[in-house]
Amino acid sequence: MAMSILKLRNSPALRSVSNSARIGVSSRGFSKLSEGTDITSAATGVSLQKARSWDEGVSSNFSTTPLKDIFKGKKVVIFGLPGAYTGVCSQQHVPSYKSHIDKFKSKGIDSVVCVSVNDPYVINGWAEKIGAKDAIEFYGDFDGKFHKSLGLDKDLSAALLGPRSERWSAYVEDGKVKAVNVEEAPSDFKVSGAEVILGQI
């Protein structure tokens, strides 16, 4: 994605949060996501769509996955990114988690989850293309409700992407957020990578 365009942002400071202060996101003040937040309660009634082919979608009757099925009773590392097939997402963000998957497992992490404001079919094709589907669980947030519920939505119309999300990561135990990191701009890759969250587990 175009670096010069995506650097545009209302908030002046980089926001990395772990074990304490809340996160400021965009000009709307504070994200609902902070240390101690129950992510399933913050996004009540929201489901995600597991990455799959169109035929798999049809055969599953276009089923979705409730957040409790992803987080409850589990230790989960989740990261969100602006979009499949975009530069930083494909070249840095996902590869950082793929290359450290064994370290996450050694720390007792049950699953590493990637979520993006895309439909599950696009996410599936992208995950297969970059060879990460076996290591990471990919989910679509096709209508953006998940990110909007958490205050992590972002308008990237300037880059012809429309409503998308911030670039972020979080460590979640049994649905409760333990650490959160949000980049200053969606084109940045400073605090949301695997190395940072590994140090917060």
pLDDT tens digits, one per residue of 151-168? 887 777 667 676 778 889
Q: Hey, which bits of the chain come out as E strands?
A: 15-18, 47-50, 65-66, 75-81, 111-116, 137-140, 153-155, 163-165, 168-173, 176-182
Q: What CATH number is given for 37-199 in this structure?
A: 3.40.30.10
- 81: tokens are 């990114």
What's the pLDDT score for residue 160? 67
Every domain of the chain and the residues it spans? 37-199
Q: What is the mean pLDDT of the chain?
A: 81
The residues that bridge with 75 in the sheet, in sequence order, are 173
Is there a contact between 178 and 14 (Cβ–Cβ < 8 Å)? no
Q: Quote the CA–CA distance of 151 and 68 in Å, as a whole number.
A: 19
CA atoms within 13 A on the CB side of 87: 12
Instruction: Please indicate whether residue 11 or residue 132 has the higher confidence score (pLDDT).
Output: 132
Both tokens of 144, joined, read 């953006």
From 43, 48, 81, 89, the catalytic residue? 89
- d(CA 122, CA 119) in angstroms, rounded, equals 6
Residue 120 C-beta-side C-alpha neighbours within 13 Å: 20
The two tokens of residue 116 are 């993006």
Tokens, residue 47: 């489901």
pTM of the model: 0.78
The question of whether 114 is a catalytic residue gets the answer no
Residues with Cβ within 8 Å of 44's Cβ and at least 6 positions away in sequence, in order, are 149
Q: Would you give the DSSP letter of residue 72?
A: T
Residues whose CB falls within 8 Å of the CB of residue 160, separated by 6 or more in sequence, listed in order = none
pLDDT digits (tens, 9 = 90+) for 79-109: 998 888 877 787 778 989 999 999 999 999 9
Residue 5 pLDDT > 50: no
